[in-house]
Amino acid sequence: MPSPFLTPGSQSQLDSLALLQLRRDQTIPTILQLHDETNAGYKEGKVTNTRFGSFPHSTLCDQPWGSQIIASKVDTGSRGRTQSKKLKRKADELDSSTQAEDKPSPQTPVAASSGFLHLLYPTPELWTASLPHRTQVVYTPDYSYILHRLRARPGSTVIEAGAGSGSFTHASVRAVFNGYPSDDQSTKKRRLGKVCSFEFHAQRAEKIRVEVNKHGLDGLVEVTHRDVYEDGFLLGDPKTGESPKANAIFLDLPAPWLALKHLVRNPPEGTESPLDPTSPVYICTFSPCLEQVQRTISTLRQLGWLGISMVEVNNRRIEAKRERVGLDYENIRGTVVFPKSVDEAVERTRALEERSQLFRATQNQSDGDSTPAPKTETDTPARQQGSEVPVYKQGRMMTRSELDLKNHTSYLVFAVLPREWTEEDEKRCREKWPSNRVQEPQGPQKSKKQLKREAKEQRDLQKKEQSQLETESQKE
């Protein structure tokens, strides 16, 4: 089954993940199904209840992505009767029943008078904002910069240690995706992108496996329950397993320096290296304090990693809006109805005084006098004159940064481990790409001082020969 994260298609499908957007910062993930045991009893089938109404999944399936779905009137009266019948059912009847009950087709829902949501296909950014938090989450500003520095591209293999809630897992698999694994010979010849995720906590590892299966990422993400401090990063058996041949590594661990001993070209235990021998390997560690950063950098230097740097990502979202101040925007939403100048305040005071006098004069009139009172202009001069500028362009542009940061106080350490280069590799490259311009020096190389002395002797010899020729020509 293709993953909705990678190839969502043009519309939603059954048994696939969809995101229900209620507000800009509120999204509900759900698997689209017509029937679900947890919501048994609804005549409309599986229903997602929100603050904006109830939405049967029959109204969400086969809809174009981005559609606005209207809430429905859900019949909840039959839920209690259905559940009571299930409780009264005897055990012998369950054992004697040989045929499974056919689930009735969902009832056609009726649209409600209000309430709606938008149907969106899942992306790593939306999944990060709506996923169930099991641990701290690597947010979008962090993992976007990390994947950029790790040179993650289609066909790469990424090692992730500390999967947690799976935020970085979904982002990295999208970055390295270049096709689904299959038995086709043309697919086997090229290298497919893959994410090898390692998690120490057994329950979290199992939950990530379930999510990977539901999201259609089987074959692209391999989750392993292991203590990488002791057992390393090989797939399968820790000692004799297969090497993932990783190009990029992300360590979200409490003590990443303890796992670096396994990320070398030639492990001391004699086991196979988990790194790709034909390309440089990039690494990133995620640490919350500087003491961990110092120990990590010290270990990286001892193991031969180069280009070590530390980065702190502080992302703030800036909100831009127009601030409209004045009495001209009295009935416009999102404005500050307050006089913007003294003249406008005086003008408004006069208008209110005239209106008050008119009201008192009307009250003092006799009941028999039905003459209508004269109307007064209560609009301000700005409203009377009108404005050619549209409302959405009026006011002063204001920017404000958000108060809460959607990331963690953490430090990112980056490094690169170059590939091993032997004399055989050098000879092979020279044979494959021969150089016609550069001639290899034969014999021992001469110093600059010796070359200058030989050049001077050559010039003196040329001058001597030239002087002899001039002397002979004069004698003749």
- Tell me the average pLDDT across 291-301: 95
- Any idea what DSSP says for residue 254? S
Q: CATH topology of 1-75+108-122 equal to that of 126-182+189-311?
A: no
DSSP 312-339: -----PEEEEEE-BSGGGTTSTT-B-S-
- Please report which confidence band the pLDDT of residue 301 belongs to, taking 50, 70 and 90 as the band edges: very high
C-alpha–C-alpha distance, residues 38 and 48, integer Å: 11
In 10 A of CB 254, how many CB atoms?
A: 11
Helix then strand count (H, E) for the chain reads: 13, 15
Characterise 259 by phi-psi region: left (phi > 0), alpha (psi -120 to 50), beta (else): alpha
Please tell me the predicted confidence (pLDDT) of residue 100: 42
CA angle 234, 235, 238 (to 5 degrees): 55
- Tell me the average pLDDT across 93-107: 54
Contacts of 23 (CB under 8 A, 6+ apart): none
Across-strand partners of 281?
417
Single-letter amino acid code for the residue at 279: S
Across-strand partners of 225?
199
Higher pLDDT residue, 404 or 469? 469
pTM for this predicted structure: 0.72
Please tell me the predicted confidence (pLDDT) of residue 404: 65
Please tell me the predicted confidence (pLDDT) of residue 95: 47
Please tell me the predicted confidence (pLDDT) of residue 375: 52
Higher pLDDT residue, 475 or 264? 264
- Tell me the average pLDDT across 302-327: 85
Q: Can you read off the two tokens belonging to residue 142? A: 């962090």
Q: Are residues 3 and 217 in contact, defined by beta-carbon separation less than 8 angstroms?
A: yes
Domain ranges of the chain: 1-75+108-122, 126-182+189-311, 317-350+393-405
CA atoms within 13 A on the CB side of 201: 11
Reported as a single tens digit per residue, the pLDDT across 409-444 is 689 999 999 998 888 888 888 888 887 665 555 667
Q: What is the percent of the chain where pLDDT is above 70?
A: 81
Residue with tokens 């070398």: 264
Maximum distance among all alpha carbons in the chain?
A: 150
Please tell me the predicted confidence (pLDDT) of residue 384: 43
Please tell me the predicted confidence (pLDDT) of residue 182: 81
Please tell me the predicted confidence (pLDDT) of residue 385: 45
Characterise 283 by phi-psi region: left (phi > 0), alpha (psi -120 to 50), beta (else): beta
- Please report which confidence band the pLDDT of residue 12 belongs to, taking 50, 70 and 90 as the band edges: very high
Higher pLDDT residue, 446 or 97? 446
In 324-469, DSSP assigns E strands to 396-401, 411-417
- Any idea what DSSP says for residue 275? B
Q: Does domain 126-182+189-311 have CATH number 1.10.10.10?
A: no
In 10 A of CB 49, how many CB atoms?
A: 14
- Tell me the average pLDDT across 404-413: 74
Please tell me the predicted confidence (pLDDT) of residue 96: 45
- Please report which confidence band the pLDDT of residue 330 belongs to, taking 50, 70 and 90 as the band edges: low
Residue 329 has pLDDT above 80, yes or no: no
Q: Can you read off the two tokens belonging to residue 415? A: 């490094």
Please tell me the predicted confidence (pLDDT) of residue 302: 94
Characterise 36 by phi-psi region: left (phi > 0), alpha (psi -120 to 50), beta (else): beta
Q: What is the percent of the chain where pLDDT is above 90?
A: 40
Please tell me the predicted confidence (pLDDT) of residue 132: 87
- Tell me the average pLDDT across 349-365: 82
Please tell me the predicted confidence (pLDDT) of residue 470: 87
- From 61-75, 134-148, 354-368, the region with the lowest mean pLDDT: 354-368
Reported as a single tens digit per residue, the pLDDT across 232-242 is 999 988 888 89
Q: Can you read off the two tokens belonging to residue 156? A: 């790469």
Fold that domain 1-75+108-122 belongs to in CATH:
Vcp-like ATPase; Chain A, domain 2 (3.10.330)
Q: Are residues 416 and 322 in contact, defined by beta-carbon separation less than 8 angstroms?
A: no
Reported as a single tens digit per residue, the pLDDT across 41-57 is 677 788 888 888 889 88
- Tell me the average pLDDT across 107-133: 89
- Tell me the average pLDDT across 248-253: 95
Q: What is the mean pLDDT of the chain?
A: 82
CA angle 92, 95, 97 (to 5 degrees): 105
Please choose, from the candidates 124, 123, 213, 196, the residue with its C-alpha nearest in 3D space to the C-alpha of residue 156: 196
Please tell me the predicted confidence (pLDDT) of residue 343: 82
